[in-house]
Amino acid sequence: MNDSFVTVGKPKRKVDGLAIVRGKPVYTPDYDMPDALVVKLLRSPHAHALIKNIETEHAKSINDVVDIFTFCDVERIAYTRAGQGYPEPSPYDTFLLDRKVRYVGDPVAIVAAKTEKAAKDALRNIKVEYEILDAILEMKEATKEGLPIIHDESECSGIYDKSRNIAAHYEMNVGDVEETLKTCDVVIERTYHIDTQLHAALEPHNALTYLDSVGRLTVITSTQVPFHCRRILSHILNKPIADIRVIKPRIGGGFGGKQSVIVEPYAALVTIKTGKPARITYTREEVSMATNIRHEMSFDVTVGATKDGKIKAISLHGVSNTGAYGEHSLTTFMVSGSKTLPLYNKVEAVHFGGDIVYTNLPPAGAYRGYGAPQGLFPLDCAIDELAYEIKLDPLELKEINSIREGETSPIFEIMGEGREGVPQTMKSCKLQECIDLGKNEIDWESKRGKKIRNGSKVRGVGCALAMQGSGIPKVDMGAATIKMNEDGSFNLLVGATDLGTGSDTILAQIAAEVLTVPLEKVIVYSSDTDITPFDVGAYASSTTYVSGNAVRLAAEKIKEKLFELASKYLGKGVSELSLQSGMIACKDGASVSLSELCTMHMYTFNQQQISESASFVGEESPPPFAASFAEVEVDTDTGKITLLNFVSYADCGVALNPIQAIGQLEGASMQGIGWALYEDIIYGKNGRMLTNDFFTYKVPSRMDFGKLTCRLVDSYEPTGPFGAKSIGEIGIDTPIPAIANAIFDATGIRLRHAPFKSERVLFEILNMEV
Amino acid sequence: MKITLNVNGKLHDIDIDPGEYLLDVLRRIGYKSVRRSCNSASCGTCTVLLNGKPILSCSTFAASVDGQSIETVEGMSDGEKLHPIQEAILEEGGAQCGYCIPGLIMTGEALLRENIDPSDEEIKLALNGNICRCTGYEPQNRAIKKAAQVMRGELDE
């Protein structure tokens, strides 16, 4: 299928690659602004407290300190940092600064100074008197009676039950799970718990703000959502959208961590209050403790099946920890069900539900996978457990019960993100191919259940199947504008936000394919609210599908326009014309190059700017699918887990740029591997995150795994641009269940709390020996 | 205080504070490829070469390298012509967000100057201190291997 394409489906180099490898100044911190004030935040040392008194006069008198703002100086406007479409499905429970602090790290005061040193001096010299409140540090405690209420302020809206610290609640049923379980031969009931995770993007959150020559606020920022950022700033700062411009240059990693609007308001406030440029850059510790983390979740899972392996009922009932603020609380939790349960679509009854609770811990938010990995861990592992119960190969059990092309699941229609979903039938689903190829690659048949031993070390293999989505259907909108230049090149303007994912490149490939020009003739400019059309931004695996379809539509409109103009110019009928390799040719041999056509229309003939715009909203959200396999070796003397090989095959439709698409799968897999084995967040007893740097929080490095094998299968999604679906998130869903299942295969130990630390394995081994 | 740095063969006389780190000084005089991430010598992002050896500029006092030779990625390409490591990273998909890439290229360059035919294990070991959160490492490791082949004359660019 790819052979018919010229530019898409080819491993083109990134359009921004040259700047990256040459180390060009293309990230927010690289923009020089000599007079920019240094903005720093004083943060709460307490998990839950009221500010009784705050004294800033002495700090303000320090040389080079320009100003200090506390909750007394800012208008009290409730908002959500979530960076979602409007109206947001997240509670408005946040204030720029508040009298109450709700986690260790919550901002207390904003310092603006001429130098870094003066700003730090000021932080040390602000005197705050706190009334310390009881704190809730365990999510399972949060709803108990008699506990402090974390959000008791009257201005908040959208909170499900303030009095019980429940930010959001969700419940859905298909059929009757209780009744269906009675008809099952075997029922597995377990509890699975999955801890939080840090995004650990290498570029810290940072922003630069200034007033332009006419006094408009300009915000250069490392964000995934420039348009949502502009809208939220407008709301908090009481400033018209027309007076704000948000620019996203290259960004040094996001993974969901830069979807919430976190740093921009503080710098913007300083610029507005002082009239001066301002720069805010979080330290690594601040990035870890005071941006967003992943939602910790716990699920009671029940799976019922017949003894020959027909899964009849699934129930996932859980609790999710949103921390001190509720951004993305409802939606991540819903995705735990909506992007896992349709996988096993042969069931008669399904239940999904639970509470998303506040605690006095760092606020959780969007993170690659967005709840799906938290839901897949209990679901996949419970099915794995069930397979052993009925003495079936777990891969076979997952295989015979999972969704295929032409099939659907009622969950698609019931569960969306923060609302109902849309019905959809799988137009592309090559899960079987993923299973078959992955099984072969890992050598499943000869390794599973063999417990191959070498001294104290024993090996095992595990598998997991996954799905995700491609944007939020009927919600996410992306737009593209294309304008033509007289040398036959095109400016492609997109609101879409390249986080390093390569979206600028694949969007240019789509335009180049339609317009039959080399990739070099498409000049991409993205993510500038003054110049590019709207796009929701980079999240929910939306860009390839949503923004990609918008680019394709815009390019097709240009193509139509070119035929119309060439028809007049050449005096031929539109139906006689064709476009190939940058030339419009007529059947009779007459032709005109795009360059000549544009030049004539600019300067001499039928003068006009050739340009078109198009928007796209997905009617559905075609899921990518994946089958992943882990091979581990466990040292039974020490509990040490070594990942020997991780294999992942994915169906992302047509990979518009195979090397970038595989890169997404590899990178997401590695992030999942880190979460499964190395990345562990520890809090002190006062609720302070102790693992807030790269010494104490272990991001996987090159020596931490054996082999990573990621591949794509042939597939074509008819509703996608040139057959494409998403690939950005799915890779992170499978490592935790696949590795857990492999550890079980090796040792007979079922780990139901991720991450899987060697200490836990050793503890279980010692328990078994007793 | 005043120090002199030779950066990519160009001499700079610079006024610095005694406690300033090399990372801040290099960025201030325009070498923006030198990037801050962890700021605690644990991610490799800010790696530059000091007299040909990789060091972490976020935790090296500028004053301690007075008069010495520093190399950054700005000095790696010869005009328009990219260094083989730069080429290989583009070819293999070794860069996603790109924030770690300058540090990675400098560490890789130091390795290949010492060992022009490194094994897979030697590459992983030499680059183990360079964290990348985007790629899953495989394409970067492949890129170093490929660049070495090109530099040995066994593979055309």
Q: What is the CATH number of the domain that holds B95?
A: 1.10.150.120
Chain B, 41 to 60: residues with Cβ < 8 Å from chain A are 42-43, 45
CB contacts of A500 in chain B (<8 Å) are 95-99, 134
Q: Are A330 and A364 in contact (CB under 8 A)?
A: no
pLDDT in tens, A220-269: 999 999 999 999 999 999 999 999 999 999 999 999 999 999 999 999 99
Beta strands in A61-198 (DSSP E): 65-69, 100-101, 107-113, 127-132, 166-174, 186-194
- Tell me how close the Cα of A180 comes to any Cα of chain B, in angstroms: 43
CB contacts of B31 in chain A (<8 Å) are 23
Q: Is the pLDDT score of A3 beyond 70?
A: no
User: Could you tell me if B98 and B143 lie in one domain?
Assistant: yes
User: Could you tell me if B66 and B109 lie in one domain?
Assistant: no
Q: Which pLDDT belongs to residue A768? A: 86
Q: Is the pLDDT score of A2 beyond 70?
A: no
Separation of alpha carbons A343 and A360, rounded Å: 35
Q: Are A279 and A110 in contact (CB under 8 A)?
A: no
pLDDT in tens, A325-373: 999 999 999 999 999 999 999 999 999 999 999 999 999 999 999 999 9
Separation of alpha carbons A40 and A265, rounded Å: 12
**Segment (H or E) for A665:** helix A658-677
The chain A residue lying nearest B92, using CA atoms, is A659
For residue B118, the enclosing domain spans: 84-151
How confident is residue B142, by pLDDT bands cut at 50, 70 and 90? Answer: very high
pLDDT in tens, A33-68: 989 999 999 999 999 999 999 999 999 999 999 999
Q: Is the pLDDT score of A1 beyond 70?
A: no
How open is the CA angle B128-B129-B132, to the nearest 5 degrees?
A: 85
A447 occurs within a structural domain: yes
DSSP-derived 3-state class of residue A137: coil
pLDDT in tens, A597-615: 999 999 999 999 999 999 9
**Count of domains forming chain A:** 3
pLDDT in tens, A70-107: 999 999 999 999 999 999 999 999 999 999 999 999 99
Cis amide leading into A373 (omega within 30): no
Separation of alpha carbons A650 and A431, rounded Å: 8
* Beta pairing partners, A94: A79
pLDDT in tens, A696-751: 999 999 999 999 999 999 999 999 999 999 999 999 999 999 999 999 999 999 99
B79 occurs within a structural domain: no
Find all residues with CB under 8 Å of A202, minimum gap 6, and list them.
A252, A253, B35, B37, B43, B45, B97, B99, B100, B131, B132, B133
Separation of alpha carbons B100 and B140, rounded Å: 11
* Beta pairing partners, A449: none
Only one residue has tokens 């609790």, namely A319
How confident is residue A417, by pLDDT bands cut at 50, 70 and 90? Answer: confident
CB contacts of B46 in chain A (<8 Å) are none
User: Could you tell me if B109 and B132 lie in one domain?
Assistant: yes
- Tell me how close the Cα of B49 comes to any Cα of chain A, in angstroms: 15
B156 occurs within a structural domain: no
pLDDT in tens, B101-120: 999 999 999 999 999 999 99
Q: How many other CB atoms are found less than 10 A from the CB of residue A445?
A: 13
- Following DSSP, what letter does each residue of A228-249 receive, concatenated? HHHHHHHHHHT--GGGEEEE--
Q: How many other CB atoms are found less than 10 A from the CB of residue A156?
A: 17
pLDDT in tens, A107-154: 999 999 999 999 999 999 999 999 999 999 999 999 999 999 999 999
Q: In degrees rounded to 5, what are phi and psi of residue A365?
A: -155, -155
Separation of alpha carbons A36 and A112, rounded Å: 10
The amino acid sitting at A453 is: R
pLDDT in tens, A454-475: 999 999 999 999 999 999 999 9
The chain B residue lying nearest A663, using CA atoms, is B135
Once rounded to an integer, what is the mean pLDDT over residues A310-333? 98
pLDDT in tens, A420-449: 999 999 999 999 999 999 999 999 999 999
B29 touches chain A (CB under 8 A): no
B100 touches chain A (CB under 8 A): yes
User: Could you tell me if A446 and A518 lie in one domain?
Assistant: no
Q: In degrees rounded to 5, what are phi and psi of residue A537?
A: 115, -175
Retrieve residue A592's tokens: 């005109």
A577 occurs within a structural domain: yes
Q: Which of A15, A20, A205, A285 to mutate to test the interface with B (most CBs of B within 10 A)?
A: A20
pLDDT in tens, A274-285: 999 999 999 999
For residue A593, the enclosing domain spans: 2-25+477-617
Burial A277-296 (b: 16+ CB within 10 A, else e): bbbbbbbbbbbbbbbbbbbb
Find all residues with CB under 8 Å of A144, minimum gap 6, and list them.
none
Q: Which pLDDT belongs to residue A76? A: 96
Q: A589: which DSSP letter? A: S
DSSP-derived 3-state class of residue B36: coil
pLDDT in tens, A643-694: 999 999 999 999 999 999 999 999 999 999 999 999 999 999 999 999 999 9
Share of chain A above pLDDT 90, in %: 98
> What average pLDDT is seen over chain A?
97
Find all residues with CB under 8 Å of A434, minimum gap 6, and list them.
A465, A625, A626, A627, A649, A650, A651, A713
**Segment (H or E) for A611:** strand A611-617
B93 touches chain A (CB under 8 A): yes
A685 occurs within a structural domain: yes
ipTM comes to: 0.98
Separation of alpha carbons A725 and A717, rounded Å: 7
Beta strands in B8-157 (DSSP E): 10-15, 47-50, 53-56, 69-71
User: Could you tell me if A530 and A633 lie in one domain?
Assistant: no
Once rounded to an integer, what is the mean pLDDT over residues B6-18? 97
Q: What is the CA radius of gyration of chain A?
A: 27
Indicate yes or no: CB of B97 within 8 angstroms of CB of A253.
Answer: yes
CB contacts of A197 in chain B (<8 Å) are none
- Tell me how close the Cα of B102 comes to any Cα of chain A, in angstroms: 6
- Tell me how close the Cα of B29 comes to any Cα of chain A, in angstroms: 11
User: Could you tell me if A641 and A556 lie in one domain?
Assistant: no
Best CA proximity match to B24, nearest among B75, B60, B69, B66? B60
Instruction: Say what angle helices B101-114 and B138-151 make with each other, to 10 degrees.
Output: 40
Separation of alpha carbons A703 and A647, rounded Å: 17
User: Could you tell me if A585 and A698 lie in one domain?
Assistant: no
Q: Which pLDDT belongs to residue A152? A: 93
User: Could you tell me if B52 and B96 lie in one domain?
Assistant: no
Chain B, 64 to 83: residues with Cβ < 8 Å from chain A are 72-74, 76-77, 82
Q: Are A749 and A743 in contact (CB under 8 A)?
A: yes
Q: A371: which DSSP letter? A: T
Q: Considering A593, A617, A641, which residue would you say is the last residue of a domain?
A: A617
Instruction: Give CA separation, A47 vs A102, A327, B32, in Å.
Output: 6, 18, 38
User: Could you tell me if B104 and B138 lie in one domain?
Assistant: yes
Separation of alpha carbons B21 and A430, rounded Å: 53
Indicate yes or no: CB of A23 within 8 angstroms of CB of B137.
Answer: no
Share of chain A above pLDDT 70, in %: 99
Q: Please measure the distance between the N-terminal and C-terminal CA atoms of chain A and give it in whole angstroms.
A: 59
CB contacts of B97 in chain A (<8 Å) are 201-203, 250-254, 499-500
B4 touches chain A (CB under 8 A): no
Q: Please measure the distance between the N-terminal and C-terminal CA atoms of chain B and give it in whole angstroms.
A: 45
Indicate yes or no: CB of B93 within 8 angstroms of CB of A660.
Answer: yes
Alpha carbon A412 to its chain's center = 20
Q: Is the pLDDT score of B157 beyond 70?
A: no
3-state secondary structure A475-511: CCEEEEEEEECCCCCEEEEECCCCCCCCHHHHHHHHH
Retrieve residue A295's tokens: 């939602």
Q: Which pLDDT belongs to residue A418? A: 87
User: Could you tell me if A322 and A461 lie in one domain?
Assistant: yes
Bridge-based pairing state of the strands A217-221 and A244-247 = parallel
Q: A348: which DSSP letter? A: S
pLDDT in tens, A375-387: 999 999 999 999 9
Retrieve residue A91's tokens: 């509670």
**Count of domains forming chain B:** 2
Q: How many other CB atoms are found less than 10 A from the CB of residue B156?
A: 6
Q: Considering A600, A617, A634, which residue would you say is the last residue of a domain?
A: A617
User: Could you tell me if A457 and A560 lie in one domain?
Assistant: no
B61 occurs within a structural domain: yes
Q: Which pLDDT belongs to residue A4? A: 84
Q: Which pLDDT belongs to residue A770? A: 64
Q: Considering A617, A643, A676, which residue would you say is the last residue of a domain?
A: A617
CATH code, domain carrying B22 = 3.10.20.30
